[in-house]
Chains A and B, each alone.
Chain A
């Protein structure tokens, strides 16, 4: 079973920040949080991952709460091309590359 819960859908205006929440209350101390997105049934695209600290890259920022039970992916200036299904995933343990996908959040960016 997936270890994360996400809202099924969200809307965001183009140019505004998109904040996608994820709940992972049963996460273990050595498990990373990964974010992927999938556009039009293409292969999932890696966005960002983190363990404890907040992370930022050219695509997004990841904010992880201090208790690590939840996180938020932030797309600072959403564009129409960011319309996709976003998956928050807890990597199962530190020594495996197995990812268990939940149902994700369908983000619709509108003009």
Chain B
């Protein structure tokens, strides 16, 4: 199975600040995905990160709030900008290896 590592695993952030989450995959992949899971809720797709092109955002998510980088085929970052308490969530990245889609362990952010 694919290994997807995320950093940080957990953080407490001050409102108004920004935090960048890193996602590292152990093999080269074309697409990487970023999800958000608010407390008690299911996962919601934020955007698709393609190497060499702009990320594609889902309805309700914008680049200014969630800028994404994809510098190579094994790495991506998601920044949560100008955070408010409503951004307190688990942020997860995923990618496919073979015909299976794997997820990282998530980055649990609490905004105070």
Q: Taking beta carbons and an 8 Å cutoff, which residues of A are in contact with B? A: 32, 34, 36, 41-46, 49, 87, 91, 96-104
CA distance A49 to B97 in the complex (A): 14
* Residue contact A46 to B100, C-beta cutoff 8 Å: yes
Decide: A101 near B42, CB < 8 A? Known: A41-B37, A43-B92.
yes
Selected from B31, B33, B102, B106, the residue in CB contact (under 8 A) with A41 is: B106
**A42 to chain B: which residues have CB within 8 Å?**
105-106
* Residue contact A43 to B1, C-beta cutoff 8 Å: no
Interface size class of B (residues with CB under 8 A): 20 to 34
* Ranked 10 nearest A-B pairs via Cβ: A43-B103, A101-B43, A97-B96, A43-B105, A101-B42, A44-B103, A43-B106, A103-B42, A43-B104, A97-B31
CB of B112 within 8 A of chain A? Answer: no
**A96 to chain B: which residues have CB within 8 Å?**
31
CA distance A91 to B33 in the complex (A): 13
* Residue contact A102 to B101, C-beta cutoff 8 Å: no
Chain B: interface secondary structure? strand
Which B residue sits closest to A34, measured CB to CB?
B101
With A44-B103, A99-B33 given, can you name 17 additional A-B contacts, CB distance below 8 Å?
A42-B105, A43-B4, A43-B104, A43-B105, A43-B106, A44-B92, A46-B100, A46-B102, A46-B103, A49-B99, A49-B100, A97-B101, A99-B94, A101-B35, A101-B42, A102-B42, A104-B42
Can you list 6 A-B contacts (CB < 8 A)?
A34-B101, A46-B1, A46-B101, A98-B48, A99-B33, A103-B42
Q: How far is the CB of A44 from chain B (nearest CB, A)?
A: 5
